[in-house]
Amino acid sequence: GAVVSQHPSWVICKSGTSVKIECRSLDFQATTMFWYRQFPKQSLMLMATSNEGSKATYEQGVEKDKFLINHASLTLSTLTVTSAHPEDSSFYICSAPTGPARGNPFGSGTQLSVL
Amino acid sequence: GQNIDQPTEMTATEGAIVQINCTYQTSGFNGLFWYQQHAGEAPTFLSYNVLDGLEEKGRFSSFLSRSKGYSYLLLKELQMKDSASYLCAVNKGGGNKLTFGTGTQLKVEL
């Protein structure tokens, strides 16, 4: 149990376009989801906390207008990278809290490459 | 502060034992997690400690000392497939919102 599905796995896009990443909890309801970004050979950096039915909470230094988060239902959160630029190229990954025994399962991640 | 420190890289031999350390600042501590991550993949949950002491799960064990702000992950009978990045993460303030350490890249050699 406690599976998180993330889509797409890979995205290559042109500079200036927007990219939407979806994160779904498959067998449980998630009122909260976390979005992380990871650069090569670095650790995960929390970007924002997605809250079902309310605004997302962004970490310091993360542009809320650039990284739009929508948590439309108890099983779906989306991250949209708007007007993407090459410096936005990174591994984006979501996670849902399920209690410490199951260790906050993660989605499979999305590798974004902006040309 | 949020500093969670780990050694950047470690190398060990197949069949051996390796200990990966993690130190953190203790304010607001509410549990510590260890994850394994292979390149390009999602982190996989290994262990969780909230009380002092050792938690054992097969070849993997994790230890916590809350007063010292210190944890370690112990991997026994190392296998080549254990070559990966190991991340410790601290839950500060509840809600399972995790702050990740710098990560340790482990290389297992023959």
Q: Are A70 and A77 in contact (CB under 8 A)?
A: yes
Q: Report residue A82 as tokens.
A: 């708007």
**Is the Cβ pair B96, A44 closer than 8 Å?**
no
The answer for B 90-109 residues in CB contact with A (under 8 A) is: 91, 95-103, 105
Tell whether B5 is within 8 A of chain A (Cβ).
no
Residue B52 DSSP code: S
**Cα first-last separation, chain A:** 38
Give pLDDT, residue B1.
43
Nearest CA in chain A to B42: A108
Q: Is the pLDDT of residue B109 over 70?
A: yes
* Mean pLDDT of all residues belonging to chain B: 93
- CB contacts, 8 Å: B100 with chain A: 36, 43-46
**Is the Cβ pair B96, A99 closer than 8 Å?**
yes
Percent of all residues in chain A with a pLDDT value above 90, rounded to a whole number: 79
Per residue in A44-80, pLDDT tens? 999 999 999 889 999 999 999 999 999 989 999 999 9
More confident residue, B1 or B73: B73
Q: How confident is the model at residue B2 (pLDDT cuts 50, 70, 90)?
A: low
Q: Are A10 and A81 in contact (CB under 8 A)?
A: no
CB burial of A83-112 (b: ≥16 within 10 Å; e: otherwise) equals ebeeebbbbbbbbbbbebeebbbbbbbbbb
Cβ-proximal residues to B39 (8 Å cutoff; 6+ apart), any chain:
B84, B85
Nearest CA in chain B to A45: B100
Q: Are B12 and B2 in contact (CB under 8 A)?
A: no
3-state secondary structure of B16: coil
Q: Are B25 and B93 in contact (CB under 8 A)?
A: no
